[in-house]
Structure 1
Amino acid sequence: MSSILPMLFLLTPAATFRRSTLNAKRCLTSRRGLLTLAIETSCDDTSVAIVEKTKKHSKSAARIHFLENITADTRAHRGIHPIIALESHQDNLATLVQKALNYLPGSKTGDGLKLADGTRRRLPDFISATRGPGMRSNLSVGLDTGKALSVAWQIPMIGVHHMQAHLLTPGLVSCLENEAKPEDAPAMTPEFPFLSILVSGGHTTLVHSKGLTDHSILATSEDIAIGEALDKSARDILPDTLLQEAKSTMYGKSLEQFVFPNGKADFADYTPPETRGEEINKRVSDWGWYLTTPFANTRTMQFSFSSIASMVGKIVQSNDTNLKMSHSESVDLGREAMRVCFEHLASRTVIALETLRPHNNGKNDIKTLVVSGGVAANQFLMKVLTSFLEVRGFGNIKIVAPPPYLCTDNAAMIGWAGIEMFEAGFRSELSCRPLRKWTLDPKANDGGILGPGGWTQKR
């Protein structure tokens, strides 16, 4: 941090700090778009982005001027290693910020940020940095850097809720499409209210979103997240050679490629259970084993994935120690593990939709199901959800998921969430601290997004 601040003060013209110049800059913001530099360091991905919200033909549009991620290499530990992830943030964040400055839009007024090569760049209108939830030490690297930039450039900062950013990512995608084809652009989608499934290595949450900061948690995992269950299953199922060749510790992705080498063609014949009774039925494999779906006999609004990973491990270990599981059996086990995990998600989603459907007219206000987080990039998951909702009477629900590069942790989504909060008048105080745990639900003990201290709001 100490190496960043002097450079920023040297490169920033003195006029930037004058109140009159700042006021003039604010007046110009609406005409040239709202610009933010965003930082994400909640886990093992160091990410920086430059995001701008503009208007095209009176419709909201967006541009990502810069986005780059660096993931900590923790393959030797076959999972996330907190210290290595922290050191990766410390090694890479300042370099990414410096690189991002070159992608700031040019200044048309002659003020702004003067780079080392003499060019003038627009100063961001504010900084967006992930405040939580996540690993506290890792969050501190990004949040403290965001505070330093905020002070150096005399601009506000937004401490962003990581999971809120995932929820709002489809809105960013919609506005990116509006930027590309403004004449065909619809209004920004999805519109509130909508349902979201947040699925990643650290989270599995079903959310009813009614507004920017108004989110109700309908179901969450009481043990491990779905991404962790898939990663654990993958470590048991995948051949050692594939584990060693993996470029990251996202073993669930490697498992998908292993069991579905031909992509969608390999699961084109998937048939979902049409009734609750079919959900409960055991599907005994050709090899004699089977996996059971958690809470299949109940309508409990809760997720559980540890039992699935445990069953997979026991099946692999039960094989004759002198005989490795065959390739065909490994593929079948991997497919079955994914099917059970994804049908468990789909089952609770259908129960939620049935509960939210008004009794008087049978129609549901929910028109969209957002699927976000790293696991949302899994194509078989999308197949299961689409098929499941169709046979259960919810084929009218539109299922949307961001492109893979915006599903995983990234600073672009942090910047977009920051823009949404900034436009709503919210600002973060420089005293705000990183939050290891931070719910979305205002009815939770911590008060949800606005519950922790450190917020101000301009009316």
Structure 2
Amino acid sequence: MWSSKILKTILLFVEEQLFPPTSFTLMRLPFPLIRRPRCLPLTPPHNHRRTLLTLAIETSCDDTSVAILEKQKAKSTLHFHDKVTSDNRAFQGVHPLVALESHQKSLALLVNRALRSLPEREAGSATWGNAVQIRGAKGEADTLREKPDFITVTRGPGMQSNLMTGLDMAKGLAVAWQVPVVGVNHMQAHALTPRLVSSLSASSESAESHPQFPFLSLLVSGGNTMLVHSSDIVSHSILAEKTDIPVGNVLDKCARDILPASLLDNGKSVMYGPMLEEFAFPNGAKDYDYTPPETQRGLNTMKTTQFGWAIRPPLSEDKSSSMEFSYSGLGAIIRRIVEGNPEMSDPERRLLAQETMRVAFEHLASRVLLALNTPAMKDISTLVVSGGVASNQFLKYMLRSLLDKRGFEGVEVVFPPMSLCTDNAAMIAWTGMEMWEAGWRSGLEVRSLKKWAIDPEAGDGGIMGAEGWIRADDTQL
């Protein structure tokens, strides 16, 4: 006598042979031999591609961004990448509630658009496990698209409510599609962005991601300023970091003091740093007039201008060799100069803008040079500069000039394209790819993290110290 288990197996086999699935719709007997759960795929989940596909979400601050990235060995393709930035001009800075409302309004719309950029899948190879059905626009037929292998999302650090918006959307997609989710560190993503750029431009599947570890990362934005030694995808040891306000923040504050009122009133965003750069150098590199100091002491020397004022470099007195960044004093100096001359002419304002950036960026460079001169960094051949401030072309020019002057011509300085310097979902997607290939997933119970260090020696344990990481073979969805 056959057992009921064996009998069910035989009947299932007969049904599949008599009525094989030929499309995305399941064909069934008029009276099914066995009632099967409707949530199961027609065939066991199987990745017919030799690629990985992820949909990524970034909502850490005021940018709502979604990306779809496909990776085939070393070569990647960005099928979709777009973002919406909240309008905070009335507040001259990011207002948390305005940013949150923008995320709530824009995220679902961006995801809906992104789904139409998923790679198409032929109906004959589609199953519930590997395809999603996308409703066509009015008058157009529905299409079958590749289901992402996993969802990537920024888990932190950032504004917690904003992070929660993206994380909840990611969890919803993961549950609906029955795929894993990978919650990644925002600053880790900035550090790994050049490796994304390398993969996007790779000429073959066998090319190596660049830069190879280890390398130095200078992460500069409106929220962070840190110099990091990156030894692998999750180990980023902090060599120097801000003690007060970030460099991007002080540039924005100085811009609001320096820029003529007409420019501020007509600005299209609260990205005052780029406005300051454009005002300081209207002709781009043609306006650069910079001679790098030959010594470390030269980076800490005040320079009196033709208008009689000078800007004291940060930490130039008793902490000129300390591995830290401090910008609070710079903002106060600029405000005093401007308030002392209410009728300041545009040429003087332009020079003040140039000097502000020179002093701010030489402070960054001074700590990079201090690090490179230590024996522990003798094998470093690449400096990655990432984050919103990395889009500043004068910073790029200054760093290269200073490194060459101080004997570090062999150190390559890597800046991502301007579109990938500011917050974006493409870098989140790439970081998800790297974490996925390393065997890591996130549990569905993970929460957003307002603060999340990238240094493994930090009090929270760094990237891998956050709760909720799961090894690939333990993932249960």
Q: TM-score normalised to the size of structure 2?
A: 0.87
Number of the residue aligned with 1:159: 183
1:102 aligns with 2:116: yes
Number of the residue aligned with 2:20: none
Number of the residue aligned with 1:335: 354
Change (3 A) 1:167 1:270: same
1:314 aligns with 2:336: yes
Change (3 A) 1:171 1:237: same
Shift of 1:161: 0.4
Counterpart selection for 2:321 from 299, 308, 322 = 299
Instruction: Give matches, 1:233-248, under 5 Å.
Output: 233-248=254-269
Counterpart selection for 1:119 from 122, 143, 160 = 143
Aligned equivalents of 2:457 and 2:231: distance in 1?
13
Question: Secondary structure of 1:170's match?
Answer: helix
Q: Is the 8 A contact 1:17 1:153 kept in 2?
A: no
1:203 aligns with 2:231: no
Q: Percent identity?
A: 53
Aligned equivalents of 2:75 and 2:44: distance in 1?
25
Question: Secondary structure of 2:303's match?
Answer: coil
Aligned equivalents of 1:13 and 1:244: distance in 2?
57
**Count of aligned residue pairs for this structure pair:** 428
Aligned equivalents of 2:46 and 2:217: distance in 1?
40
Instruction: Give matches, 1:51-200, under 5 Å.
Output: 51-55=69-73, 60-108=74-122, 109-111=125-127, 112-117=131-136, 118-178=142-202, 181-182=203-204, 186-200=207-221
Tell me the alpha carbon deviations over residues 404-433 of structure 1, each in whole angstroms, 9 at most, x when there is no partner.
Answer: 111110001000000100010000001100
One-letter amino acid of the counterpart of residue 163, structure 2: L
Change (3 A) 1:275 1:147: same
Counterpart selection for 1:40 from 49, 53, 58 = 58
One-letter amino acid of the counterpart of residue 409, structure 2: G
Question: Secondary structure of 1:249's match?
Answer: coil
Number of the residue aligned with 1:351: 370
Cα RMSD (Å): 1.7
Shift of 1:168: 0.7
Change (3 A) 1:290 1:456: same
Aligned equivalents of 2:250 and 2:44: distance in 1?
50
Shift of 1:357: 4.3
Q: Is the 8 A contact 1:273 1:388 kept in 2?
A: yes
Q: Is the 8 A contact 1:197 1:370 kept in 2?
A: yes
Question: Secondary structure of 1:142's match?
Answer: helix
Q: Is the 8 A contact 2:75 2:207 kept in 1?
A: no
Q: Is the 8 A contact 1:234 1:254 kept in 2?
A: yes
Q: Is the 8 A contact 1:17 1:154 kept in 2?
A: no
Shift of 1:376: 0.3
Shift of 1:282: 1.7
Q: Is the 8 A contact 1:197 1:206 kept in 2?
A: yes
Tell me the alpha carbon deviations over residues 166-188 of structure 1, each in whole angstroms, 9 at most, x when there is no partner.
Answer: 1111011001111xx439x8521
Change (3 A) 1:435 1:356: farther
One-letter amino acid of the counterpart of residue 357, structure 2: M
1:416 aligns with 2:430: yes
Q: Is the 8 A contact 1:13 1:114 kept in 2?
A: no
Change (3 A) 1:16 1:441: farther
Shift of 1:160: 0.9
Question: Secondary structure of 1:24's match?
Answer: coil
Change (3 A) 1:13 1:266: farther
Number of the residue aligned with 2:464: 450
Q: Is the 8 A contact 1:48 1:67 kept in 2?
A: yes
One-letter amino acid of the counterpart of residue 130, structure 1: T
Shift of 1:281: 2.3
Tell me the alpha carbon deviations over residues 254-300 of structure 1, each in whole angstroms, 9 at most, x when there is no partner.
Answer: 00000100001111x41111112322322001111111111234210
1:23 aligns with 2:39: no
Number of the residue aligned with 2:444: 430
Change (3 A) 1:263 1:408: same
Number of the residue aligned with 2:301: 281
Q: Is the 8 A contact 1:131 1:160 kept in 2?
A: yes
Shift of 1:452: 1.3
Shift of 1:20: 7.2
Question: Secondary structure of 2:70's match?
Answer: strand
Gaps of 5+ in 2: 1-23, 27-36, 137-141
Aligned equivalents of 1:347 and 1:138: distance in 2?
35
One-letter amino acid of the counterpart of residue 313, structure 2: T
Shift of 1:16: 9.6
Q: Is the 8 A contact 2:198 2:210 kept in 1?
A: yes
Counterpart selection for 2:270 from 249, 254, 259 = 249
Aligned equivalents of 1:205 and 1:403: distance in 2?
20
- In our comparison, the structure showing a higher alpha carbon Rg is 2
Shift of 1:365: 1.3
Question: Secondary structure of 2:97's match?
Answer: helix
Change (3 A) 1:13 1:253: farther
One-letter amino acid of the counterpart of residue 67, structure 1: H
Aligned equivalents of 1:296 and 1:102: distance in 2?
54
Aligned equivalents of 2:361 and 2:70: distance in 1?
35
One-letter amino acid of the counterpart of residue 340, structure 2: S
Question: Secondary structure of 2:151's match?
Answer: strand
Gaps of 5+ in 1: 1-11, 359-363
Q: TM-score normalised to the size of structure 1?
A: 0.90
Q: Is the 8 A contact 2:55 2:69 kept in 1?
A: yes
Tell me the alpha carbon deviations over residues 46-67 of structure 1, each in whole angstroms, 9 at most, x when there is no partner.
Answer: 0000011114xxxx11111001
Tell me the alpha carbon deviations over residues 52-94 of structure 1, each in whole angstroms, 9 at most, x when there is no partner.
Answer: 1114xxxx11111001110000001111000000000000000
Question: Secondary structure of 1:430's match?
Answer: coil
Shift of 1:13: 7.2
Tell me the alpha carbon deviations over residues 226-255 of structure 1, each in whole angstroms, 9 at most, x when there is no partner.
Answer: 001000000000011101111110101000
Aligned equivalents of 1:277 and 1:412: distance in 2?
40
Aligned equivalents of 1:240 and 1:390: distance in 2?
38
Tell me the alpha carbon deviations over residues 301-339 of structure 1, each in whole angstroms, 9 at most, x when there is no partner.
Answer: 0001111111101100011x4xx2101110010000000
Question: Secondary structure of 1:209's match?
Answer: strand
